[in-house]
Structure 1
Amino acid sequence: MRPSEPIPVGGTTITLKTSNRTTLDLDVTTTGKIVVRGPHSTTDSQAADLAERRRHWIYRKLTRLAARAPLDPPRHISTGETFTVLAARTSSGSPPAPTWNCPSSTTKAKEAATRSTCSAAQP
């Protein structure tokens, strides 16, 4: 199997991954990468041609992905970390938003299910 390298197509890049398969396949990953999978004999130009033929499908997939993407990426809470909950952006001079302190065994899912594991931090 040859190493996968980005292939420029139009204004974007695609990645070709080869294996012991017999057909070409096109995929848009959840991170927005465009991947063409094909047999070991697949050339870069064949992968680029497939992406070009399916450009409208790729565009629709990327548009849906962008619409579903969170405005802020998910974060993992560390032991003793303080974070803001449900706070809107405030103008200068506004009181600070409430924060919560969570013990180390608390995960985001547990914290969402029960607020009793987190205590409000004192400003």
Structure 2
Amino acid sequence: MSYTIALAQCTSLPDISQNLVTAEKFIAEAQKEGASLIVFPEYFMYPCTGDTASYTAHAQPVDGPFVLCMKELAVKYNIWLLFGMNEKSSDVHEKKMLQYIGHSGQWRHNTRYLSKNTFVRCI
């Protein structure tokens, strides 16, 4: 069995709603080309520009609006998604998280990091 994987070569903007518009454009194109999975950059939800205050202020919980919209897109286009987000957390560390969403919108896996290169845990 073979699968087609699409890579979204794009940058994220400091506008989460615009990043969702970009996501749908790439997802629709990937689905049209027969991909079963599309992979977005690790800082896709919001860019990491070195402005920690802005990055933290735009963080969202795992069940927040950004992930919910991405789940809806997975269902709409019947495609698996892998993308990065900045997770809002109650502890003192800002977290970068990679989300893996199934084609029917179910959460499949996530990986959290404390910083750009420090792995924390897999769930």
**Which TM class, normalised by the smaller chain length?**
under 0.3
Normalised to the residue count of structure 2, the TM-score between the two structures is 0.27
**Bigger fraction of residues in strand:** 2
Larger radius of gyration: 1
Structure of higher RCO (CA pairs closer than 8 Å, 6+ residues apart): 2
